[in-house]
Structure formats: structure tokens, C-alpha cells
Structure 1
Amino acid sequence: MAFSGLMMLLDWGSGGLTPPRAGLWAVLGAMVFAVLLPPRVTAGEGWLAVRGSVRERRVCTDALVALYSCGPVAQRLVLRDAYGGCVELTPRVLAANPLLWHLLDAGARRSRERGTLRSGTDVLRELAEQIDDETARAVLRASGLE
């Protein structure tokens, strides 16, 4: 909202601010805010949710049926459950928050044990290796050994 306020202030300073233009700046500021607002990822025992700017999507991690990676440039992780739920998130979110990663990994293991997770075990293994490597590097960096 600071963007729209600044633009209205500049428009007012130039003498061209009218009510329709102020409304336009407010709408444009809201659109910029919606685009730049990062999704919020939360998890609990058996579920993972991603809240975007409009709505929240949730999957049951104990009943995952597919887990796959898409997007060569901006890598995204897509999770689907047996109840039709689907979420999409970046793997960096999981690497940055070990608790989220642990909850997702534990749920995926339960899904694999129950036989519902049939697609994506290789993606999960690669993601686990990537997160473990990043964690090890962070520990080495923090201890001054790198």
C-alpha cells in the first residue's frame, strides 16, 4: 500500500490527482501487493497448507498419491492427495524450515507405508538429499569449517 500512497502523493504533487486516478492508483497498489505477497506455508501432523493471496489449499500428507517437481527455471513442488487436494510450493521453503520438511517427510513415509504414494518417491529422495546437503553446509558455515 506504500506504493499506491507514494504514487498518489507524486500525482498530487504534479497537480493531476483526481478521484478516478486515486482509485486507479489504489487498485494498482492492491494488485502489486497481491502479486508480490509470498504464499504462507503451514503444516501440522498429517497436513500441509499453502495460503496464497486469495485462498488456502491443503493436502493430507498421510494420504499423498503423487509428488512431482515442475518448472526448470523456478522449480515448484506439487503435492496431490487421495481426497483431491493439491498444493504447490517451492522446495526452498522446505529447505529453510526444517520443521515443515520433517512433517512433510513423515507424512510421505506414512503414505508410502499405506500404499497410497505411488508416484514421486524419487523426487522426495532427491529433495531429501538436497535439503540434507544444504543443512550440512549451513552447519559447517556456522562452525567456521567451510
Structure 2
Amino acid sequence: MTAHDHGWAADLRFAIHCSVALFGLLLTVDAAAGRLTWPRALLWTGLAALLCAVLVPPRVRAGVGRLSCRGLLRERTVRTDRLVSVRWSDGVAQRLVLRDTDDCRVEVDPEVFLANPALWHRLDEDARGCVERGTLRCGVTALRQLSDRIDRRHARTVFTISGLE
């Protein structure tokens, strides 16, 4: 069974809409100012394409024993049944960094797991097996923190739907 990020298509549409809106706005402002030329239109096209490339999220998929993250240029895959470390990345955007015994590495936005329980279930099941086998030496705390966040979000959703909040 393969699980994937169900919100990816909507995020892709958002990225495309933002870049098209920027492109249209830049062309409109340039045309209104009377400065629109072919080189400037090409410049605005490149700028809109760059914005789209930055905003397009990686596509995350998980199957039995693997998790892959496909960006614009390449796909990275990690064997989740052979994890050796799971940690939080340092930086502005929080990422979960997974590394396996083959030294393959994948960075995933934790919001992907929060929004897609099937993806989280695949990762959690394989990670528990790694803990039992003793291959996952670093990262049990990071997985527990993510699990707690997911549990809190689901509990809050249940309370909201049932009217208890």
C-alpha cells in the first residue's frame, strides 16, 4: 500500500496561481507605465517561473519500507525500515530529517504528516520496527514529539467536530 500527500495538488495549484498573478500584475504595471518591451516581458516571465519553482512543494510518498520526496529536479528516497537517525533540522522552516543505513537522506515538512495520517502511519510503523531491531539509535524523541503533535491535532479536531471545544 502506497500513501501520498493528498494536499500536494492543491499546493501546486496555489504555486501556479501565485506566479501567474505576479506575472499578470507585473505586465499590467509595466504596460500602464508605457515601459513594456519584449526583454522586460521575458524578465517578468523568468521571475514568475522562479517564484513558481520556489513555491512548488516536494511530492511525498510512502510505501512499505520506504519514503520518497520528489522535488523539481530530483527524487530522494530513504528506507524507513532501515532508519538510523531522525532529527529536526535547524533553520527557519522546520523539517524532519530521516537518514537510513545506506546514508540516504530525506527532509520532509512535518505538516505533511500532520495532514496525511496514512503517511504518518507508514513512517511510524517502520520506525517502531527499527527501534525494536536497534538500528534507530538517534531520533526516538523527534518521532515522539511529532506523534504528540499529531495526537493533539486529531484530538482538537474531534473535540471541535463534536462541539466539546
Identify whether the pair has TM-score above 0.5, normalized to the shorter chain: yes
Q: Which residue of 2 aligns with 1:141?
A: 160
Q: Which residue of 2 aligns with 1:100?
A: 119
Q: Which residue of 2 aligns with 1:57?
A: 76
Q: How does 1:1-146 map to 2 (within 5 A)?
A: 1-2=19-20, 3-71=22-90, 73-146=92-165
Deviations 1:69-106 (A, max 9, x none): 12365322110111221111222211111101000001
Deviations 1:25-50 (A, max 9, x none): 11101111111222222211111112
Q: Percent identity?
A: 52
Using the TM superposition, name which of 65-74 and 102-111 deviates more.
65-74
Count of residues in correspondence between the two structures: 146
Q: Which has the higher contact order (CA 8 A, sep 6+)?
A: 2
Structure 1: segments with no counterpart, 5+ residues: none
Structure 2: segments with no counterpart, 5+ residues: 1-18
Q: CA deviation at 1:62?
A: 0.5
One-letter identity of the residue aligned with 1:38: P
Q: CA RMSD in A?
A: 1.7
Match of 1:21, SS state, is helix
TM-score w.r.t. length of structure 2: 0.80
Match of 1:16, SS state, is coil
